Amino acid sequence: MNIKPIRTDDDYKAALKVVSSLVDADPEPGTPEGDRLDILSILVQAYEAKNFPMDLPDPVDAIKFRMEQKGLQPKDLEPMIGRLNRVYEILNRKRPLTMPMVRRLHAGLGIPAESLIRQPANS
């Protein structure tokens, strides 16, 4: 199978080329090419996690992103945040989220709690 660890940027680029060609070929799981795709994908993900870590989004950005995904309007957040003026205060970064709001947003919209409790970008 000739798979090796990804240690350098050149290794990473080469692995991405192979993964891309394998994805285009769409091999069946359990075949040699399907196994190669699985293993290379894991190696690429590990390299990316180590070398290109991504921060969690700002709480307001996370809320706005989920609103966009679900086609929600500020009024739709009232059950989780409170009256509409409070929703706008949160979305405009005039007021921080409270823990009850975090719990309701997590439960109601499925936003990871880690993103909602993160320190806002402007603080």
Q: What is the pLDDT of residues 3-51, one digit of tens each?
A: 889 999 999 999 999 999 999 999 999 999 999 999 999 999 999 989 9
Q: Tell me, yes or no, whether 41 and 76 share the same domain.
A: no
The residue among 107, 78, 108, 106 whose CA lies nearest residue 117 is 106
- Asked if the model's pLDDT at residue 121 lies above 60, the reply is no
The answer as to whether 121 is a domain residue is no
Record the pTM.
0.58
Do 67 and 104 have their domain in common?
A: yes
| Residues spanned by the domain of 43 | 9-51
Instruction: Say if CB 120 and CB 58 are below 8 A apart.
Output: yes
Q: Tell me how far apart the 2 most distant CA atoms of the chain are, in Å.
A: 60
| pLDDT tens for each residue of 79-91 | 999 999 999 999 9
In angstroms, rounded to a whole number, what is the distance separating the alpha carbons of residues 97 and 101? 6
